[in-house]
A = this chain, B = another copy of it.
Amino acid sequence: MNEMQTKLNELKVRLEEVKALNNAQAVLSWDQSTQMPPGGGAARAKQLAVLAQLTQEKAIDPAIGRLLDALQKYGESLPYDSDDASLIRVARRDYERDVKVPAEFMARFSAHQAESYQAWTQARPANDFDRVSPLLEKTLDLSREFANYFPGYEHIADPLIDLSDYGMKVDSIRSLFKELRARMVPIVKAITSQPVADDNCLKQSFPEAEQIAFGRKVVERLGFDFQRGRQDMSPHPFTTSFSVGDVRITTRVQERDLGDCLFSIIHESGHGMYEQGVDPAYDGTPLMGGTSSGVHESQSRLWENVVGRSRGFWEYFYPELQKTFLNLQKVSLDTFYRAINKVERSLIRTDADEVTYNLHVMMRFDFELQLLEGKLEVQDLPEAWRERFRSDLGLVPPDHKNGVLQDVHWFSGFVGGAFQGYTLGNLLGAQFYAAALKAHPEIPAEMKQGRFNRLHIWLKENLYRHGRKYTAAELVQKATGSGITIDPYIAYLQTKYATLYKL
């Protein structure tokens, strides 16, 4: 074996160790959100903090830096697309980021994160913003502290955005969002000035266990593999993975809201299929996982909305749904289809329809920037929230749990970089789907027959299998032939909603 091979193997061993520790943390976090009894919180925070610090120490071990330096030229001599070149490239990027952040900070942040999440799970149902506002202030301080480990940024949010959407900056997101807003306002206006669709059929009583079982059946059919995954309950649905063979999605269920459980399962299964579709050769390496929050979200939104809220999808599934829930037997497919695509100005982001959804996201994105810039204080956030809701959506949240306390993000991670991925995901989901349709125009017809394999295979081939090999920008270019663009999303909305509303 030559010297470069020896060094590369040594690097791989060290990176695998780091990945294993990251995955162990993910197991503890998943357990905390889905299984842990109330009494376990304090000790779990300690366990996560110790693990975070150790992982960070291992990740920034100078030995990794030396190996990366020694392998730099070798990596550049290999084809860019090769696994080894990609591993070296991505590992270097991670290392250069991680090495700037002291391990002590990560331990402090992790302990705070656990405490903050635990408090949020109680404060939200209790509608108690005061309970968490000192914690949120600390989160904001810690977020600024994190950003300041990366001096030279254009905007203080940039280092935080880099964590989830590598390569994106406040500046570019702002102009993308500005264009999007300009093109969406007329659509939202046109739709919301018409009578609201009737979705009473979704608000009947649907036994919870049967909702969960039906959702499971649907995502299994879409392609989520339960031999390599599972589904559990949590207050805020999420997806996590510990390996390509162990990808877990969660959902929540409300007896009187058929859509909440169903579409959140489909949403999470999109994330899950992405993780399950990564090349198994990347398992345990830095190439495992999704390449960015925006691309990840493109998959959840594609499966949830573009597929799961399409007419073709329900031509196949609706008879099965009617068999499961007898109170739908007298509800026509047409009525049901209009109900699940009801557009309405609403309070809760995760319940928002796909037309108004981006307004929720862009608002949070702006709040994050204002908080980080010091232009908005945490204590003023509830009022700012009410104000912005009034102006953007013409609604005022009646309480905190339907307002500022609704999202888990600021109570389980940084302020900054938490939300832009959702709107990027909407754009990219439509863009990827358009590319898949171009390659396989038969996809919609097959869906009507319950066959989702062709779409799934196209996505695996063009996106999933690459894991973190390509940046989001590279992947979008390769899969669709252009950079990120708003056009496919607008075209998708216009085509779909023209059949439901006058546009």
Interface size class on chain A is 35 or more
Quick check: A230 and B17 within 8 Å, CB to CB?
A: no
Q: Quick check: is A242 within 8 A (CB to CB) of the other chain?
A: yes
Distance from A101 Cβ to chain B, minimum over Cβ atoms (Å): 20
Q: Give the chain B neighbours of A245 by CB distance below 8 A.
A: 37-43
- From B21, B24, B38, B226, give the contact of A37 (CB < 8 A): B226
- From B17, B36, B47, B49, give the contact of A50 (CB < 8 A): B17
Quick check: A242 and B23 within 8 Å, CB to CB?
A: no
Please list the residues of chain A having a beta carbon within 8 angstroms of any beta carbon in chain B. Answer: 16-17, 20-21, 23-24, 27-28, 31, 35-44, 46-47, 49-51, 54, 225-230, 242-246, 283-284
Q: Give the chain B neighbours of A28 by CB distance below 8 A.
A: 24, 27
Copies of the chain in the assembly: 2
Specify the main secondary structure of chain A where it touches its partner.
Answer: helix
Quick check: B284 and A43 within 8 Å, CB to CB?
A: yes
Expressed in whole angstroms, the Cα–Cα distance for A447 and B71 within the complex equals: 71
Distance from A49 Cβ to chain B, minimum over Cβ atoms (Å): 8
Known: A35-B230, A37-B227, A54-B54. A242 touches B24 (CB 8 A): no
Quick check: A47 and B24 within 8 Å, CB to CB?
A: yes
Quick check: B242 and A40 within 8 Å, CB to CB?
A: yes
Q: Give the chain B neighbours of A43 by CB distance below 8 A.
A: 20, 23, 242-246, 283-284
Quick check: A246 and B51 within 8 Å, CB to CB?
A: no
Distance from A29 Cβ to chain B, minimum over Cβ atoms (Å): 10
Quick check: B51 and A228 within 8 Å, CB to CB?
A: no
Distance from A386 Cβ to chain B, minimum over Cβ atoms (Å): 36
CB closest chain-B residue, reference A16: B46
What are 22 sample pairs from A and B whose C-beta atoms fall under 8 A apart? A20-B46, A20-B47, A20-B49, A20-B50, A21-B51, A24-B50, A27-B27, A27-B31, A27-B47, A35-B230, A37-B229, A39-B227, A39-B229, A39-B243, A39-B244, A40-B242, A41-B245, A42-B243, A43-B242, A43-B246, A43-B283, A44-B246
Distance from A409 Cβ to chain B, minimum over Cβ atoms (Å): 24
Distance from A223 Cβ to chain B, minimum over Cβ atoms (Å): 15
Quick check: A24 and B40 within 8 Å, CB to CB?
A: no
Looking at A27, A28, A49, A225, the one whose CB has the most chain B CB atoms below 10 A away is: A27
Distance from A280 Cβ to chain B, minimum over Cβ atoms (Å): 10
Expressed in whole angstroms, the Cα–Cα distance for A50 and B59 within the complex equals: 14
Quick check: A37 and B246 within 8 Å, CB to CB?
A: yes
Known: A243-B42, A246-B44. A51 touches B24 (CB 8 A): yes
Q: Give the chain B neighbours of A37 by CB distance below 8 A.
A: 226-230, 245-246
